[in-house]
Amino acid sequence: MSNEAPVKNLDKVLDLLTYLSQQDEPQNVAQLSRYLNVTRNTIYAMLASLQSRNFVEKSSDGRFSIGYGLLQLVSNYNHQYPFLYTAQRHMQDLSVQMGLPVSLFVYKPGLNCLRLSSTEPTAALSPGGLVHACTTAPGKLLLAAQPDEVIWEELKTNPIEKYTEKTITKPEQILAQIPTYRSAEYAVEFGERFSNSGTVAASIRDRADHVVAAISVFLGAMPSEERLQNYVGQLRLTAARISAELGNFRTILI
């Protein structure tokens, strides 16, 4: 019982930071108190501690927003992915060419892929968002890059929700697709996560020829076959260029 209070307090602090990060404008103490269902004195104490570490900032009118101290945490996290900054340069160029936001994904346990970066961060495309690996093009490529025993264990322990009529939920059907995605440098998915939208993705490989990430675009409507193939070609070429800068020359650049 003695450990419950500190854990609950920590949960509240994390809830506070998460809430502030989701708001379009700074929040006052009364708003935060109502949201967290705690007293204003508690909110003041939490904010004072966070402000001392620059995790929140106070505006001239006494309202609060997330602070620049969090940038250091994000930067430290991004250092785990040394290919990120190389990829971002190429992603910006590709986004201009395609006229679409381009995202970078990495695999995370639990049949998830993490959006590590986006050329046009929005509520739907913000970095840090998780999407189901089995229902998106980048997720399919990243899942297929995992060892067989990892894939099987993930499928065995993480049931797949049937989002649409096209969602594949049976492990044996997903396993049957793995060889195709392992040999391909790209993937296309439409209607498996959302009925009227889809994703296209291409694999990024490191010097050791391991798939370390995938770049992807979101399709709000099904394009013509010609346009789809154009998207695939542009994504593959950009992924190959990023891979080459990482020391992987398996894919011949045209």
Q: Which two tokens stand for residue 216?
A: 């992807």
DSSP conformational letter for 134: G
Per-residue pLDDT tens over the stretch 168-185: 999 999 999 999 999 988
Burial of 88 (0-12, 13-18, 19+ CB in 10 A): middle
Nearest to 18 by CA among 52, 58, 53, 66: 66
Helices (runs of H) and strands (runs of E) counted in the chain: 9, 8
Compute the Cα dihedral for 211, 109, 70, 27 and give only its sign. Answer: positive
Q: What are phi and psi of 216, to 5 degrees?
A: -150, 155
The pLDDT, as a whole number, for residue 5 is 55
Residue 189 clears pLDDT 70, i.e. is over it: yes
The pLDDT, as a whole number, for residue 1 is 42
* CA atoms in the 13 A half-sphere facing the CB of 20: 28
78 or 94, greater pLDDT: 94
The pLDDT, as a whole number, for residue 78 is 74
Nearest to 232 by CA among 184, 182, 166: 184
154 vs 144: CA distance, rounded Å: 12
Q: How many C-beta atoms lie closer than 10 Å to residue 228's C-beta?
A: 16
